Amino acid sequence: MQKINSLVEQWVRPEIRAISAYHVPEAAGLVKLDAMENPYVWPEALRAEWLEVLRRVDVNRYPHPKAPQLKLALRQTMAIPEHAGVVLGNGSDELIQMLAMTVGGPDRVILSLEPSFVMYRMIATFTGMRYVGVALRAADFSLDAGALLQAVEREQPALIFIAYPNNPTANLFDQGALLRLLDAAPGLVVIDEAYAAFTDASFMSRLGQHPNLLVMRTLSKMGLAGLRLGLLAGPEPWISQIDKTRLPYNIGVLTQVSADFALRHKPLLDEQTRAIRQARDGLFSALAALSGVSPYPSQANFILCRLPRGRALAVHEGLRQQGVLVKNLHGSHPLLQECLRITVGTEAENKRLLDALRGLL
């Protein structure tokens, strides 16, 4: 054991040893409101139809390396401009990694906002890039455009990630400020639209109007988290370079066929998404009415809440003991003190959460 540990010490990069692994808590038996999943399952008849499609798949063969049929379905359902190129990832996490590998290097910078999606920083570390975070405004997590443009000027980032709406704060950023960012950025600006299904705002129709704009989407938050499928759209000269860093056959045949099937039933996904948006507004009002809970307005399928000083950890644990799992953010970033992130569930799940919260506060 001593020997193994000293070998690990000798060979594993210090920046890898220094970070802790992405933590996923055990959720068996709990009402799962921690990971922005769609709470609705498919009706039995649709499942049967899906299994019929899977029955015809030959798993002895490699999947199609470029998944043209699935890409076509994605182009149609996501209104991707015809002139744009598209590359698929095993979740958008993999696309973030491919982007970093494409433009990375020891003196190259990934810049993002803080607090935001933690994978931007983690992947900068994995790929040996330097990470720069620009703080959002403490009062409402809005964009400090002056600070952002200054940091861009100073750091000359190769890659800028903007989650729009942002995770974990659930807000959109000022569009005019982002357009100025596109003009000022020396390198790529990736608008990460993981929550596109829950807002009407998007940069998708602007693709091609800026030489450095890419738009990233995922099927995860709209009801297909288990499939692991993300996409990156943008000018073909960028996409064809990024595509070179993609591992061959990164999208398995079961994912290709299942995602294509799901997109052919997009009205069902849309109906679920609409229900989530509606439930979000009800949950927000109910949370705001609880004394001691301050929810922040949401354009996504989750709500960030701040609790009174010293309460977040105990409330998080109390909820878990009552069978409801939410995400604790206290301790993850200075601007997120006493914050919990609650994914919008079904009406029944939201009620369970609210009842448990009332008991705890």
- Name the residues that contact ligand PLP, by CB under 6 A: 36, 91-93, 117, 163, 167, 192, 194, 218, 220, 230
Query: First CA to last CA across the chain, in angstroms?
Result: 47
| Pick 214 or 360: Cβ nearer ligand PLP | 214
User: To the nearest whole angstrom, how small is the minimum distance from the Cβ of residue 230 to ligand PLP?
Assistant: 4
With CB atoms as reference, the residue minimizing the distance to ligand PLP is 91
User: To the nearest whole angstrom, how small is the minimum distance from the Cβ of residue 124 to ligand PLP?
Assistant: 15
Q: How far apart are CA 169 and CA 93, in angstroms?
A: 19
User: To the nearest whole angstrom, how small is the minimum distance from the Cβ of residue 95 to ligand PLP?
Assistant: 8
User: To the nearest whole angstrom, how small is the minimum distance from the Cβ of residue 148 to ligand PLP?
Assistant: 17
Region of residue 211 (phi > 0: left; psi between -120 and 50: alpha; otherwise: beta)? alpha
| Pick 91 or 234: Cβ nearer ligand PLP | 91
User: To the nearest whole angstrom, how small is the minimum distance from the Cβ of residue 17 to ligand PLP?
Assistant: 25
Give the DSSP H/E element, type plus range, for residue 55. Answer: helix 44-55
Q: State both tokens at 219.
A: 């099927």
| Other residues' Cβ atoms within 10 Å of the Cβ of residue 75 | 16
| Pick 117 or 238: Cβ nearer ligand PLP | 117
Return the bridge partners of 230, or none: 89, 218
User: To the nearest whole angstrom, how small is the minimum distance from the Cβ of residue 45 to ligand PLP?
Assistant: 27
> Rounded to 5, what percent of the chain is helix, strand, coil?
45, 15, 40
325 contact partners, CB below 8 Å, separation of at least 6: 25, 27, 30, 31, 32, 33, 34, 319
| Pick 102 or 116: Cβ nearer ligand PLP | 116
Give the DSSP H/E element, type plus range, for residue 148. Answer: helix 145-155
| Pick 142 or 156: Cβ nearer ligand PLP | 142
User: To the nearest whole angstrom, how small is the minimum distance from the Cβ of residue 92 to ligand PLP?
Assistant: 4
Q: How far apart are CA 80 and CA 269, in angstroms?
A: 18
